[in-house]
Structure 1
């Protein structure tokens, strides 16, 4: 029997996808030479509403892995083989697409004769043309190491159950706070110290530090939170709603601080890298946003509004949309970059965002209906049902338990995260 699908996870994935597309749309316009200061400030304010996007995908990866394997020991070869097909193969396919797409519009590519395939090999390790594909490299490391994480999580669970001095909830909260402090310290080192360390270290350590954003080590706390959520979904729901007033206050405070920090540290051109993921203050706003979003989605459970159904649909095709959305931004930029947009960067950014979301999700949906969709958008086509198979499914479903409110059963297709 398949586990019930938790509705808010798919909805949260949809929100995270929208946040990431907005980030990349803003990055396309905010650095242009003809942008005016009001547009720069407004785009910076919108940008800080989206910082939770990528870490939320890491959180959801942890949620799905631990939710489906917390009571089982995964068959590692089969587990990796499946994830390789669902996640890494789409990365390889789209890396090739981005590599070709950028080069076919470059005259030097056609004059060179034999293409420089070394640059393609480099793209598989350090994506540049598909600049967003670094995330797939990073998150796939969690899948490779997942059996070790699972063993560690089960060992911690046994210790929590045997604790006598404190309640399990107190122990879990204490561990989360301790892990958050360690992670904040790591972010402190990453933002303020590691840049200097790269100059004094020899290879390969200097290179590893230079590309530290590609490493799972820099995002492990979000994966840990996913494990906590997956182990006790009902407690997590209750907890996120109870602390909702506090997370809202924390978000407002950090939102003001990050906006001020970026504007204070920037010159004539806004520097969004001041709000990098690998910074302690950014970590705080990400946590506030993530818990706040989850709490709101929990409060909406069971209402089945059009907005929720839209978020669920977006979440369903978000991985494919994520893979393709940068290509859509490239296509839009091909039209907008020659234009003089002084005074129009804010509305053009918002319009580009809407167009990118619509086209990227449409492409993801269309590819999911074609053969080989697993290797393009990470989704398996739903098999056609026959009268006999439908009867068998109805008979099997009648003997299964009804899923809990706010959740639906898996429709027979796989999701990468």
Structure 2
């Protein structure tokens, strides 16, 4: 018997996917030269509603891995082999698709005689055309290191049983707060200090700091927070409900602060990088928003509505949608970039978001029904067993349960705006 499905995880994944798609649509339009200030300000305000997206996927990756492997130690080679097929092979395939899709519309590509293979190899390590694929590189590091994370969490758990002065819940809460403080210090170094460190250091250390957003080190807190959730799901639900009023208040305060911070620090063009993930204040709003959304989903748990059903469906196909959505944005931009959109950037961004979401999810769903879907969208088809009285050809393709892939539904775990 498999473990019971935690429905709010799939729904939270769906919300996070929508947030990332909105981020990237905003980034497509907010930097255009003909944008007017009201549109620019409004898009900035919407942007700060989406900052929880990518860190939430890291959190859900930790949740699903620890949930499925809390008692069962994974055999490392089969574990990595499976994740390589579910996650890294689709990454390589879509890297090639993005690399080709950008170049086939460039005359120099056809006139050069031989394609620049070095740029393709570079894309596998530092994605540019598929700018969002950096996340797959980063999250795969957690899968590689997962046995070590698991050992560490089990050790901490064994030590907690020896503490008698305070309750176990209080011990875990203190550890979470301590880890949050350490992570905040890391964010402070990243945003305010590491640029000067990069200039002072020699290679390869300067290169590692320059591309630090590609490293698991910058996102470890969200992953380990997922372990806390997976270890005690009901307790976590109670936490999110009890903390909901505080999280709502904290989110509202940080929302206004981040908006003010970006507008104050920007010139004629809004600089969204002021709200990078790797910044202490952004970390605070991400945590407030993630806890707040989780609390709302817990309050709605057990209810059957079209809205929750839609979120579950989106979460199920979100990994494939994530892989393809930037390609859809490119296709839309092919038609919108030559246009003068002065005064229309906000409605066009919202329309582009709706078209991107629907198209990306439709492609993900379509590919999931085809053979080889594991290597295209990270979802593996499974034929149901024949029931008595049924012929051998009546099996219906279904998504394979138990597969742990970023943003996918069946088990799943999993950008920064470029």
| Alignment TM-score, normalising by the size of structure 2 | 0.94
Is residue 387 of structure 1 aligned with residue 391 of structure 2?
no
SS at match of 1:105: coil
Query: Is residue 321–residue 360 contact of structure 1 (8 Å, CA) maintained in 2?
Result: yes
Is residue 123 of structure 1 aligned with residue 118 of structure 2?
no
Distance 1:389 1:10, change over 3 A: farther
How far has the Cα of 1:241 moved from its partner?
0.5
How far has the Cα of 1:382 moved from its partner?
2.7
Query: What is residue 276 of structure 2 aligned with on the other side?
Result: 276
Distance 1:145 1:415 in 2: 15
How far has the Cα of 1:390 moved from its partner?
8.6
Query: Is residue 380–residue 400 contact of structure 2 (8 Å, CA) maintained in 1?
Result: no
Is residue 414 of structure 1 aligned with residue 380 of structure 2?
no
How far has the Cα of 1:414 moved from its partner?
2.8
Query: What is residue 353 of structure 2 aligned with on the other side?
Result: 353
Distance 1:101 1:8 in 2: 36
Q: Any idea what the Cα deviations from partners look like across 1:349-390, whole Å, max 9, x if unmatched? A: 000000000000000000000010000000001314422599
Q: Any idea what the Cα deviations from partners look like across 1:160-204, whole Å, max 9, x if unmatched? A: 111111110111000000000000000000000000101110110
Is residue 57 of structure 1 aligned with residue 46 of structure 2?
no
Query: What is residue 202 of structure 1 aligned with on the other side?
Result: 202
Distance 1:48 1:105 in 2: 34
How far has the Cα of 1:72 moved from its partner?
1.3
SS at match of 2:382: coil
Instruction: Give me the CA root mean square deviation.
Output: 1.3
Structure 1: runs of 5 or more not aligned: 392-409
Distance 1:89 1:131 in 2: 17
SS at match of 2:19: helix
Query: Is residue 251–residue 288 contact of structure 1 (8 Å, CA) maintained in 2?
Result: yes
* 1:217-236 → structure 2 map (5 Å cutoff): 217-236=217-236
Q: Any idea what the Cα deviations from partners look like across 1:45-104, whole Å, max 9, x if unmatched? A: 000000000000000000000000011111000000010011111000000000000000
Query: What is residue 263 of structure 1 aligned with on the other side?
Result: 263
Distance 2:390 2:181 in 1: 52
Distance 1:289 1:201 in 2: 36
Q: Any idea what the Cα deviations from partners look like across 1:217-262, whole Å, max 9, x if unmatched? A: 0000000110000000000000001000000000000000000000
Distance 1:345 1:151 in 2: 50
Distance 1:413 1:67 in 2: 11
How far has the Cα of 1:285 moved from its partner?
0.3
How far has the Cα of 1:413 moved from its partner?
6.3
Query: Is residue 381–residue 400 contact of structure 2 (8 Å, CA) maintained in 1?
Result: no
Query: What is residue 140 of structure 1 aligned with on the other side?
Result: 140
Query: What is residue 396 of structure 1 aligned with on the other side?
Result: none
SS at match of 2:249: helix
Query: What is residue 309 of structure 1 aligned with on the other side?
Result: 309
| Alignment TM-score, normalising by the size of structure 1 | 0.94
Distance 1:175 1:389 in 2: 57
Q: Any idea what the Cα deviations from partners look like across 1:103-157, whole Å, max 9, x if unmatched? A: 0000000000110101000000000000000000000000000000000000000
* 1:361-376 → structure 2 map (5 Å cutoff): 361-376=361-376
* 1:7-406 → structure 2 map (5 Å cutoff): 7-388=7-388
Query: Is residue 379–residue 415 contact of structure 1 (8 Å, CA) maintained in 2?
Result: no
Query: Is residue 30–residue 345 contact of structure 2 (8 Å, CA) maintained in 1?
Result: yes
Distance 2:63 2:165 in 1: 29
Q: Any idea what the Cα deviations from partners look like across 1:327-358, whole Å, max 9, x if unmatched? A: 00000000000000000000000000000000
